[in-house]
Chains A and B, each alone.
Chain A
Amino acid sequence: MTWVQQVQDAREAGAVYFDVLTAVDLEADGFEVVCRLWDPDAKVEHLLATRCSREDPHVPSIVGVFAGAAWHERSVAEMFGIAFDGHDTAPLLLPESFEGHPLRKDFVLAAREAKQWPGAKDPGESDADLAVPRRRRAKPLGTREWPT
């Protein structure tokens, strides 16, 4: 079943409220585009997902089913670099000169590079102690070693 058909069927089954469309960067496994719909009568949520490759990321647009998905698809297009077939996704949020797709996991966060992690200090240490070389320092959670 195609992505658009899946969304269409859910809508016809009662999930008439379009909540959100976003994406997840699965790195080597490509991208997952996720869509949440809500059935207001049955009070049931529908979580739909589709995948696309990293090399040629594109999925069909669901704007024909939910016009309100247009903004979400434009946002996903610029944040993840995913194309939506049948939808001319103009940039939505980022400044015109912005380069790259900031929600991709390989996008280096400049703010995280520039700022010293406050947790690098151990109990009983201040900023001056960070100058002393140490074999093991605590590393920030949820961040990664960026390729230099």
Chain B
Amino acid sequence: MTYPVPDNSRGIIALDENACTSCMLCARECPDWCIEIDSHKQTVQEEGARPRVVHVLDRFAIDFGLCMWCGICIEVCPFDALFWAKSYDHAATDPAQMVHERFDLRQWLNDVPEGTT
């Protein structure tokens, strides 16, 4: 970041992968259809417990070329996995570069203001 922006600025959307349960709520609520989530089921066997099925996130991508910064995905997330980050300046010369995968989204967690995570 090069220029100070207020804490409540809508810079870009960050993802906490550890909190995400692949529940699909954000992808379904998004008016622009810009969130793509792929996941698979995995059976976990813990000592002394019955085996249980968990969802493992394979892909989480936001197409910021479609996103209109409405923040509905952040609002609906029941697990607090999505946040507004202050990072900005993500313009690109190719529409494909506007699609940001989980690695970018995770890295922007560093730009989420203190107190919101």
How many residues of chain A have a CB within 8 Å of chain B? 16
A138 vs B59: C-alpha distance when bound (angstroms): 20
B29 at the interface (CB under 8 A from A): yes
A118 vs B61: C-alpha distance when bound (angstroms): 11
Chain B residues whose C-beta falls within 8 Å of the C-beta of A112 in the assembled complex: 33
A126 at the interface (CB under 8 A from B): yes
A122 at the interface (CB under 8 A from B): yes
Closest B residue to A142 by beta carbon equals B31
* Minimum CB–CB distance for B115 against chain A, Å: 30
Q: Helix, strand, loop or mixed for chain A's interface?
A: loop
Q: Is the CB of A123 within 8 A of B21?
A: yes
A124 at the interface (CB under 8 A from B): yes
A141 vs B24: C-alpha distance when bound (angstroms): 13
Closest B residue to A139 by beta carbon equals B28
A140 vs B22: C-alpha distance when bound (angstroms): 17
Chain B residues whose C-beta falls within 8 Å of the C-beta of A124 in the assembled complex: 22, 39-41, 53, 55
Given A124-B39, A126-B38; A117-B24 close (CB under 8 Å): no
B112 at the interface (CB under 8 A from A): no
Q: Which 3 A-B pairs have the closest CB atoms?
A: A119-B28, A126-B38, A124-B41
13 A-B pairs with CB atoms under 8 Å apart are: A118-B28, A119-B27, A119-B29, A119-B30, A121-B27, A121-B38, A123-B55, A124-B55, A125-B38, A126-B38, A126-B39, A127-B38, A142-B31
